[in-house]
Structure 1
Amino acid sequence: MTRVAVEPEVQAERRRAPAPAPAQRSAAKRRRRLREGLEGWGFVVPALVIVLGLSIFPAIWAFFLSLQKWNGFSPAENVGLGNYQQMVTDSELHDAFFHTLLYVLLFVPTSIGLGLFLAVALNRRIRFIGLYRTAIFVPFVASAAVTGILTTYLFNPQFGLVNNVLRVLGLPQQGWLEDPSQAMVVITIMSLWGQAAFTTVIYLAALQDTPAELLEAARIDGANKWEAFWAVVWPQLMPVTIFATIWQLIGAIQLFDLVYTTTRGGPLNATQTIVYYLWQTAFQKLQFGYGSAVAYGLFALTLIITIGVVVYSRRSKTEGF
């Protein structure tokens, strides 16, 4: 009974208590936001320190190093823009540039076209479609070492599987990885085996996001599947195409791992790319200053090409970013 009698008095006292002032409520909100912000930064800061430590700081150090001549042991010698001037007359670097350009021209358009073809083929409701999609994506997650070993097994001129098949068919055997005119083609084929899955997944997601009403309207207007694809689906895929092109272009310019695990730049430096030449210069010849200059030159080239593609895509109103 006492408790029942007291509770109404307590509730009445609470109703008579003054409400918090607006200034107090504002201060409480600021304290709560500050606490939430500190908690968020507590999760972000460790990863941020790692990113800055492994990217920003090395990039700044490499820039100052590109202005010096240093072999990693003796005192560094300031040469100003000497390393960049040397790049203009370096014939070996020029050869590496043209090898990289050849690889880009072979790899990027083919990876985009192959990815689109596979995505259209896999955008169907058939039995075991999940298995087929998984099988297409498996090579993408394979390491460069595995891809290199597979490349050697398939295209070795002496005991490779491809030449054995040609021998059985009575066709002339090829030099493949030991032929300067064919080695880069082999590198491109194996790169497509591993990287075409990326564009396939991107295109497949875009195809599944295409409004079915547009395709139905095209069919009502009398368009066949081929006409509907080019008139309706392809314009919807243009932003994805721009994004995939830039992504594959950057990856192609930075080709290193597959060359390292297969040809080591041979034969006769026919597969020596810019990044592989950079690695040789810095870590084999111990020319860290010149290697850093080459790295910044490669960065500038990649940035210019990327900006050019983005500007063109935006002017044509097909931007992918």
Structure 2
Amino acid sequence: MSLTFAVPARTEQAPAARTRRRRGRTARRTMTGWAFAGPATIVVIGLSIFPAVWAFLISRTKWNGVAPATGVGWRNYERLAQDPDLASAARHSLLLTAVFVSASVLLGMALAVALNRRIRLIGFYRTCIVVPYVASAAATGILASYVFNPQYGAANSLLRRIGLPEQQFLENPGQALLVICGIALWGEIGFTTVVYLAALQDIPRELVEAAVVDGAGRWRVFRHITLPGLRPVTLFIAIWQSITALQLFDLIYTTTRGGPMNSTQTIVYYIYEVAFQTRRLGYGAAVAYVLFAVTLLLSGAVLWHNRRGTAGMR
């Protein structure tokens, strides 16, 4: 009888032992992963959360960075609605964002469709599209300031050769913001093209071939198969490029410095002038937090609209 009961006891203990060993290996792998990723994660979180909290505390003070700060409560935020310079910068940022995002989506999609073909030297063409995105925005701005110089720039030289009137470009208050948008688009179009190109290659070819067999032309295939497949990517690009446009600073700093006549002064450049040129750090931090809130609400609204549209299609 003793032997009869010993065998089942061992068989019952074996699975439990294997489970404990498996859990031990999993715990060791988890601890090893956190040992490598933990310090970097702590540094990244610390560099993100600490400045954000500190900036919020500064936004409730009057401080020039040298003298002791004076608490003013929510007074800096109350002044935002009465600041005409901030309202002008907000209009410039909204116009820049609307033009830049729309052009990024349309041009990026068109270039991706053109580059999603098996043609000769396709790798060279794709590389040429990505190169401007790799270059820094500061270098792009310095180069563009020479290209669009009204006196000796390459843009006016080209206009003279084809018989068109010369333009003032970055020195004209009515043209400067659109030229800035074009320069930013030239530097960012490689990103949107690559993202759209990857999305196009993920669309099942069986759907396209079935539509062609059923007699659908290129436009109908693009409208009913390609566009719905690109919808999630379009949402991502719209949010990403909106944030990029709202935070545009280095390109403006290296080209116009907010001029001429403040026609290219965006919210981020206005924050720079208020905080670091006029030394109103508290008010500049308040404007920065409002920009963060607007960006967050904009992203949330786009996501909500996309989910609502997806649910309606179902």
TM-score using structure 1 length: 0.90
Aligned residue number for residue 76 of structure 2: 83
Aligned residue number for residue 185 of structure 1: 178
Aligned residue number for residue 124 of structure 2: 131
1:189-244 Cα shifts (integer Å, max 9, x gaps): 11111111111111111111111111111112211111211121111111111111
Aligned match for 1:152, one of 145, 148, 152: 145
Secondary structure of 1:89's counterpart equals coil
Distance (whole Å) between structure 2 residues aligned to residue 27 and residue 231 of structure 1: 53
1:259 maps onto 2:241 in alignment: no
1:245-267 Cα shifts (integer Å, max 9, x gaps): 11111111111110011001000
Regions of 4+ moved over 3 Å: 18-34
The code of the aligned residue for 2:188 comes to Q
Describe the shift of the 1:222–1:55 C-alpha distance in structure 2 as closer, same or farther (beyond 3 A): same
Distance (whole Å) between structure 1 residues aligned to residue 243 and residue 145 of structure 2: 25
1:228 maps onto 2:221 in alignment: yes
The code of the aligned residue for 2:84 comes to S
1:197 maps onto 2:202 in alignment: no
User: How do residues 1-321 of structure 1 correspond to structure 2 at under 5 angstroms?
Assistant: 28-317=21-310
Describe the shift of the 1:211–1:31 C-alpha distance in structure 2 as closer, same or farther (beyond 3 A): closer
The code of the aligned residue for 2:74 comes to L
Secondary structure of 1:281's counterpart equals helix
Runs (5+) with no aligned partner, structure 2? 1-9
Aligned residue number for residue 9 of structure 1: none
More deviation, 35-44/261-270:
35-44
Please report how far the alpha carbon of residue 175 of structure 1 lies from its aligned counterpart in structure 2 after TM superposition: 0.8
Please report how far the alpha carbon of residue 35 of structure 1 lies from its aligned counterpart in structure 2 after TM superposition: 2.8
Contact 1:238 1:318 in 2 (8 A): no
Aligned residue number for residue 7 of structure 2: none
Identity percentage of aligned residues:
55
Distance (whole Å) between structure 2 residues aligned to residue 129 and residue 318 of structure 1: 38
Larger Rg belongs to: 1
Secondary structure of 2:155's counterpart equals helix
Contact 1:239 1:318 in 2 (8 A): no
In the comparison of the two structures, how many residue pairs are matched? 303
Runs (5+) with no aligned partner, structure 1? 1-17
Describe the shift of the 1:22–1:209 C-alpha distance in structure 2 as closer, same or farther (beyond 3 A): closer
Please report how far the alpha carbon of residue 34 of structure 1 lies from its aligned counterpart in structure 2 after TM superposition: 3.5
Secondary structure of 2:310's counterpart equals coil
Describe the shift of the 1:83–1:192 C-alpha distance in structure 2 as closer, same or farther (beyond 3 A): same
1:160-199 Cα shifts (integer Å, max 9, x gaps): 1111122223321111000000000110111111111111
1:81-106 Cα shifts (integer Å, max 9, x gaps): 00100111111111100010110111
Contact 1:281 1:287 in 2 (8 A): yes
Contact 1:140 1:198 in 2 (8 A): yes
Contact 1:84 1:293 in 2 (8 A): yes
1:3-53 Cα shifts (integer Å, max 9, x gaps): xxxxxxxxxxxxxxx786776656555544443232111111221122122
The code of the aligned residue for 1:91 comes to P
Secondary structure of 1:219's counterpart equals helix
More deviation, 20-29/212-221:
20-29
Q: Note the aligned Cα RMSD (angstroms).
A: 1.9
